[in-house]
């Protein structure tokens, strides 16, 4: 029996969720049962393209007993009430990153899921990138020895905050929107939580020239409990002429080796008259056609969402949530990442080194 999923928020990234569940219906794994979307135009677009009921009020969707699971793809600062309501309605929940932008919000979400005995998963899809999976496996096997330090960058082109997400970019930041991906990834790879954080932020370009009052860039140095120190460079002001919408990389150094991954330029690039120079991250999402001629998507940007559906299906078939622990990014992982995000913003504001509790 396919599980039935409802998606809350069908904006730019919500489309990946809709596609993931639509294509899982071809395999009998999941079914896109309904969508909740407050924006009329988007709601009509979903109805026309995905043929499922679209609610304006997510609570009405949660009242549908046939829906087993829900994904939350609304702006970062709106995840909490939706997730708590979904858990209280007995739905398993996948939440887009970051879980919430407050530590108490994350705790409320984790508690609500525990109380209702439902799965709470966070869409930290960097863990599903095959390059990162290989790194994690070999670091965990001790092949790099004790990890001493590393660095990460994740940067978006300026149209992301200035054209795509203008409505809520002031409630977010490069650290929330981008940094949280890599805070989670590094924690997962080195198996350690953050201990102290020092960060510096820059404001000006987006606020003064684009009228979007948010940080241009945030650079953070994080010391982990196991002694490793990582720097996280994040910004969303790369020029529109940059060759990809996102630039990203990770490197780490251990006592027995060094590993570097350029996850933006993966060796595939093009230059066309109308487009200029472009690079392609086909590991993220790539469109293809199945044997029946239906459009399907593959890649870690879809597989992390599909993983949630497989988890829910397993739970429905009798597998316990406890036994799945460690195989997916959990609410507790989301909480640890948000602790880092909160400390980063506090350090930016105060100029102090922040100790994590
Ligand atoms: N995993 C990734 O790589 C990735 C990439 C982009 C965005 N995201 C995350 O996905 C989330 C959404 O980002 P986006 O880029 O799609 O933003 P968006 O602004 O394009 O879409 C958000 C949608 O949520 C809808 N919405 C808001 N409140 C709602 C409510 N109460 N009920 C129903 N719908 C509601 C809006 O109308 C909008 O259509 C964010 O948390 C973001 O950080 C993740």
User: In the 3-class helix/strand/coil scheme, how is the chain assigned residue by residue?
Assistant: CCEEEEEECCCCCHHHHHHHHHHHHHCCCEEEEEEECCCHHHHHHHHHHHCCCEECCHHHHHCCCCCCEEEECCCHHHHHHHHHHHHHCCCEEEEECCCCCCHHHHHHHHHHHHHHCCCEEEECHHHHCHHHHHHHHHHHCCCCCCEEEEEEEEEEECHHHHHHCCCCHHHCCHHHHHHHHHHHHHHHHHCCCEEEEEEEEECCHHHHHCCCCCCCEEEEEEEECCCCEEEEEEEEEECCCCCCCEEEEEEEEECCEEEEEECCCCCCEEEECCCEEEECCCCCCEEEECCCCCEEEECHHHHHHHHHHHHHHHHHCCCCHHHHCCCCCEHHHHHHHHHHHHHHHHHHHHCCCEECC
pLDDT at 347: 98
Residue 11 CA to ligand 1 centre (angstroms): 5
Residue 353 CA to ligand 1 centre (angstroms): 32
pLDDT at 257: 97
pLDDT at 357: 78
Walking along the chain (357 residues) 10 residues at a time, the average pLDDT comes out as 97 97 97 97 96 96 98 96 98 98 98 98 98 98 98 98 96 97 98 98 98 98 98 98 97 98 95 94 95 97 98 97 97 98 98 95
CATH number of 127-284+338-355: 3.30.360.10
Ligand 1 pocket residues where CB is under 6 Å: 8-14, 36-39, 42, 58, 73-76, 78, 96-97, 123, 125, 165, 177
Residue 251 CA to ligand 1 centre (angstroms): 30
Question: Looking at ligand 1, which residue's alpha carbon is closest to its atom 6?
Answer: 13
pLDDT at 319: 98
Domain 3-125+287-330 CATH (choose: 3.30.950.10, 3.40.50.720, 3.40.1390.10, 3.40.50.410): 3.40.50.720
pLDDT at 56: 97
Minimum-distance ligand 1 atom for the alpha carbon of 176: 43
Residue 33 CA to ligand 1 centre (angstroms): 19
Model-level pTM?
A: 0.97
What residue ranges do the domains of the chain occupy? 3-125+287-330, 127-284+338-355
Residue 75 CA to ligand 1 centre (angstroms): 4
Residue 231 CA to ligand 1 centre (angstroms): 27
Question: Best substitution site from 70, 74, 165, 181 to test ligand 1's pocket, by max atoms within 8 Å of Cβ?
Answer: 74
Question: Looking at ligand 1, which residue's alpha carbon is closest to its atom 11?
Answer: 73
């Amino acid at each position: 029996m396919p599980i039935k999923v409802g998606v809350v928020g069908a904006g730019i990234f919500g489309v990946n969720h809709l596609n993931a569940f639509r294509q899982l219906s071809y395999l009998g794994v999941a079914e896109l049962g309904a969508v909740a979307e407050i924006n009329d135009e988007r709601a009509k677009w979903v109805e026309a393209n995905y043929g499922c009921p679209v609610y304006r009020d997510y609570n009405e969707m949660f009242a549908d007993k046939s829906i087993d699971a829900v994904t939350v793809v609304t702006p970062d600062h709106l995840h909490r009430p939706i997730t708590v309501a979904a858990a209280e309605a007995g739905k398993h929940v996948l939440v887009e990153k970051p879980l919430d932008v407050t530590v108490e919000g994350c705790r409320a979400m984790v508690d609500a899921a525990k109380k209702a005995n439902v799965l709470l998963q966070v869409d930290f899809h960097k863990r599903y990138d095959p390059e990162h999976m290989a790194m994690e496996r070999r670091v965990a096997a001790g092949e790099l020895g004790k990890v001493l330090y590393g660095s990460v960058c994740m940067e978006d082109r300026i149209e992301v905050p200035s054209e795509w997400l203008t409505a809520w970019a002031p409630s977010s930041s490069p650290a929330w929107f981008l940094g949280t991906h890599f805070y989670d990834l590094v924690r997962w790879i080195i198996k350690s939580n953050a201990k102290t954080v020092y960060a510096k932020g820059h404001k000006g370009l987006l606020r003064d020239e684009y009228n979007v009052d948010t940080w241009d860039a945030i650079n953070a140095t994080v010391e982990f409990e196991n002694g490793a120190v990582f720097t996280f460079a994040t910004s969303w002001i790369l020029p529109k002429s940059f060759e990809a919408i996102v630039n990203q990389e990770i490197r780490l150094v251990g006592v027995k080796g060094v590993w570097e991954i350029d996850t933006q330029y993966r060796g595939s690039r093009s230059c066309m008259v109308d487009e200029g120079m472009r690079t392609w991250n086909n590991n993220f999402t790539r469109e293809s056609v199945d044997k029946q001629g239906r459009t399907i998507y593959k890649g870690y940007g879809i597989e992390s969402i599909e993983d949630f559906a497989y988890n829910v299906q397993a739970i429905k078939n009798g597998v316990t949530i406890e036994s799945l622990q460690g195989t997916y990014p959990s609410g507790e992982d989301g909480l640890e990442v948000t602790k880092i995000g909160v400390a980063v913003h506090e350090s930016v504001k105060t100029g102090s080194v922040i100790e994590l509790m």
